[in-house]
Amino acid sequence: MLSKKFCWTTVTLCALGAAALVWSSVGKALAEDKPKKAQPVKSLVMRTFMKVKLVQAQAILEGLTVEDFDQIEKNATAMFLLTKAEQWNASKDAQFVQHSKEFERVTAKLAKYASEKNLEGASLMYVQLTLNCVDCHRFVRDKGLQARKQPDEKDGED
């Protein structure tokens, strides 16, 4: 049986590999786009971060449809680990923090159900994960959290 440390290391390396792949493809797509206005670096980093989460969510859905519990667990765990990254803490707003904690809880439970080979439980958690993402993104849009500028960002206007 593999040790927990080895499993976590493998999951982390897989997540980093996925992030690198997404980072390169997003970078290529961004280079091909001709933006009207240069976007701040932090905004590009956040977009890339969100793309990584999307790739992992799609991999979870694929795992659910073909009953690949290892794929579900690996990607749910990778999503859980993303909550520990600095980019995850986009705001200290209490409601955003609550969305974040719920995301962490759901991804952990999704990984647990996958490890138990519980398809119904994992499917339910995936639906909950999707609802959490939609609610959080709606909250961020409605609150205008994305529009907040960090002290080191400049909007390029005089």
157 confidence band (pLDDT: 50, 70, 90): very low
> With b meaning 16 or more CB within 10 Å and e meaning fewer, what string describes 55-73?
bbbebbbebbeeebbebbb
CATH number of domain containing 126: 1.20.120
Domain of 82, in residue numbers: 4-147
109-146 pLDDT, tens digit each: 999 999 999 999 999 999 999 999 999 889 888 877 64
The answer as to whether 73 is a domain residue is: yes
Alpha-carbon distance 101 to 147, whole Å? 22
Helix, coil or strand: residue 68: coil
The answer as to whether 57 is a domain residue is: yes
Alpha-carbon distance 26 to 34, whole Å? 14
| Side chain identity at residue 124, one-letter code | L
The answer as to whether 158 is a domain residue is: no
Structurally, how many domains does the chain consist of?
1
The answer as to whether 152 is a domain residue is: no
The answer as to whether 55 is a domain residue is: yes
Residue 85 φ then ψ, to 5°: -80, 150
58-98 pLDDT, tens digit each: 999 999 999 999 999 999 999 999 888 876 776 788 888 89
The answer as to whether 153 is a domain residue is: no
